Amino acid sequence: MSRVLVLNGPNLGRLGRRQPEIYGSTTHAELADLCVAWGAELGLDVEVRQTNHEGVMVDWLNEAADDGCAVVLNAAAWTHYSYAIYDACAQLTGPLVEVHISEPKQRPEVFRHTSVITPHAVQVVAGLGIDGYRVALGVVAERG
């Protein structure tokens, strides 16, 4: 079974409470359970983590690089400006799928229209709500 880290950045721990009109009503705990179940259906060993601390995210990405495992990453706000996350993603040896619950390019805030993660991603899945994580895991499974 292939190991996959599903990594979520700042404020995603507040899913279900934070702007449900944008991010939906599914909590992060529910999302984690769904990802584990979807992964199992695809033959993937999924571990879901969330942090509000950039250095912790960098450490997790470095761990994934060292272990050669796939990453599904929703870097949240860091997507748009974190060169530390950019550099950590550059080191990944397993596939990286960038995921966003909303479609950043359709959001009114112009800063959301740019991603420093995309250059390292094999695919970007955006605007599908929580189901985007299922699609992202499918991409990982297809890449073996």
Pairing relationship of beta strands 70-74 and 44-50 according to DSSP bridges: unpaired
Residue 11 assigned to a binding site? no
- Give SS3 for 89: helix
Other CB atoms within 10 A of residue 111 CB? 11
Residue 23 is a catalytic residue: yes
Q: Has 80 been labeled as part of a binding site?
A: yes
Is 67 labeled as ligand-binding? no
53 among known catalytic residues = no
| Ramachandran angles phi, psi of 126, nearest 5° | -140, 145
Residue of 23, 28, 120, 133 marked active site: 23
Q: How far apart are CA 50 and CA 144, in angstroms?
A: 25
Catalytic member of 28, 86, 100, 133: 100
Beta strands in 9-110 (DSSP E): 44-50, 70-74, 96-100
The set of catalytic residues is: 23, 100
List the binding residues for substrate.
74, 80, 87, 101-102, 112
List the binding residues.
74, 80, 87, 101-102, 112
